[in-house]
Structure 1
Amino acid sequence: MPEDQAQQTPPDPLLQVIDNLARFHREHEKYYSQAPLRQAGELQARSRALKSLADWWSEAEAGERTSAIAFAGAEDLNAPGLAAESGILFMEGEAEPAELRRLKNEVGVLAEDTGQGGAWLTRAMEQAWEIAGSLAAYPALADLLGERHRIIANDWQAAGLQVLVARLLRRALDVLARVDFSPAALRADLRGERNAPAYLYSASELFDRAADLMVESATLVHENERRWRTFRARVRALRSE
């Protein structure tokens, strides 16, 4: 093969695609290196609420309905300080507190969004892996092949963590579904087996692990920032030649 053909630069459209990916995926990852941290904090707050109830119900003695007024607070069921922190308030004439229903609904939405995001990112990394293989044709990028593949590896690992987070959250909701949160049912449980605290502790532990993995996911994505910056600068320099 003639020397000029052996050193021929691959078509520029591929470099354009690579530059586009480096630009927009880096911007996308700036968000996903931060959003899971906020979500993890919110999830930990929900976990603390469940633990507060479990702690209180592990020791509190079940009383009787103390007021005919439907909106009166249930003295024996409300953990001290929890209503102010989380809004969760058990009332004599109500069933499950609206704030507790909202907590579960929000976790369900988070599980769905996180699961879908993880599945999408997994598919995206499959394609990115194939495209990254073509970079070996560019000698000017040879020393950055490891960096580009590390970006993909980090994102792929983050995708797997997101899928696992979704599973943990869904299982936590399954556990919570075993508890009847109406005042009458809770009082019956506190007078008997006291199963509700055990279920709440387990659900909160699943929340905690999910929150930890969300932080790990954000950390992996955050690690890509310098790699993206270095890689794109080289690609742009190569395109300008």
Structure 2
Amino acid sequence: MAEDEAQLSPPESLLQLIDNLARFHREHEEYYSQAPLRQAGELQARSRALKTLADRWSVVGVGEQTSAAAFAGTEDLNAPGLAAASGILFMEGEGEPVELQRLKREVGLLADDVEQTGAWLAGAMEQAWEIAGGLAAYPALVDLLGERHRIIANDWQSAGLQALVARLLRRALDLLACIDFAPAALRVDLGGERTAPAYLYSASELLDRAADLMTESATLVHDNERRWRIFRARVRELQST
């Protein structure tokens, strides 16, 4: 009887490995079920700032420089309340606001981060898929292979979403790069074809979609929590017997 049970169960060394993975990857995924939600909220705030500027610049009558004093705020280009909400302030005689530069820099850094995380996760799931397939040789775990493969599928899908998020963020930056944010240049554009608002709207919509996908990614990873718990409980039960 004991010999039959040993044939049904993975060897102790494999059980220890599975238990380790179930423990630490569950903890790792607890972070990635929350961090993208925070990042998505930050992206939405940046998107709202761009839309606020686009709304303002779509209708405002373009004025002349309102003051010769350095660092005076531009009456026409600044959207009401935006400086208090985001720090973005257009000033006479200045170039692109440093807060807009920071916004673009942070979006670029986020694109790099999610691309790297997605690439790592996709590679890890390739290996996890092969390991999970090998567990079919052990009947004691077969009824949980659906749970294990669902975890892998969720993570793999999350990896794909993160790669797409990186693309969306970089394309948004491409669109923002088409705008000269210096007040003098903006006044020329807004007094003519008024293309800056259109670029801003499109860039903000890409940020919105990226935020939505980051939320979907977090939801997929969060779905794994109970599955990891069930899988590890079975492994520990086998270890104890």
TM-score range, shorter chain: over 0.9
- What's the offset of the Cα at 1:79? 0.5
Say how many residue pairs are matched.
239
Question: Residue 121 of structure 1 aligns with which residue?
Answer: 121
Shift of 1:4: 5.4
Secondary structure in 1 matching 2:144: helix
Q: Which amino acid aligns with 1:55?
A: D
Distance 2:53 2:227 in 1: 45
Any residues of structure 2 matched to 1:96-107 within 5 Å, and which?
Answer: 96-107=96-107
The whole-number CA distance in structure 1 between the counterparts of 2:115 and 2:157 is 14
Distance 2:150 2:9 in 1: 25
Give the % identical residues: 81
Counterpart amino acid of residue 58 in structure 1 = S
* Deviating 4+ runs (over 2 angstroms): 3-11
Rounded Cα–Cα distance in structure 1 between residues aligned with 2:233 and 2:5: 26
Residue pair 2:8, 2:139 contacting (<8 A) in 1 also: no
Residue ranges of structure 1 left out of the alignment (5+ in a row): none
1:228 aligned to 2:231? no
**Structure 1 segment 82-97 matched on structure 2, within 5 A:** 82-97=82-97
TM-score by length of 1: 0.96
Rounded to whole Å, the distance in 1 between the matches of 2:160 and 2:70 is: 47
Measure the CA separation in 2 of the matches of 1:6 and 1:82. 67
- Residue deviations 1:8-65, cap 9 Å, x none? 6443211111111101000000000000000000000000000000000000011111
TM-aligned CA distance change 1:4 to 1:40, over 3 Å: closer
Retained in 1: the 8 A contact 2:71–2:92?
yes
3-state secondary structure, aligned to 1:7:
helix
User: Which amino acid in structure 1 is aligned with residue 188 of structure 2?
Assistant: A
Displacement, 1:70?
Answer: 1.5
Shift of 1:97: 0.2
Which residue of 1 is the match for residue 16 of structure 2?
16
CA distance in 1, matches of 2:103, 2:203: 12
CA–CA distance in structure 1, aligned partners of residues 9 and 37 of structure 2: 42
Deviations 1:85-143 (A, max 9, x none): 11000000210000000000000000000000000000000011111112112222111
> Counterparts of 1:89-168 in structure 2 under 5 Å?
89-168=89-168
In the other structure, the counterpart of 2:183 is: 183
Where 2:143 maps in the other structure, the secondary structure is helix
1:74 corresponds to which residue? 74
Contact 2:57 2:197 in 1 (8 A): yes
**Distance between the aligned counterparts of 1:70 and 1:187, measured in 2?**
18
Q: Deviations over 1:186-215 (max 9, x none)?
A: 000010000000000000000000000000
AA of the residue aligned to 1:231: F
Aligned amino acid, residue 111 of structure 1: A
CA distance in 2, matches of 1:9, 1:121: 28
Evaluate the alpha carbon distance shift between residue 62 and residue 136 of structure 1 in structure 2; reply closer, same or farther with a 3 A threshold.
same
Write the letter of the residue equivalent to 1:237.
E
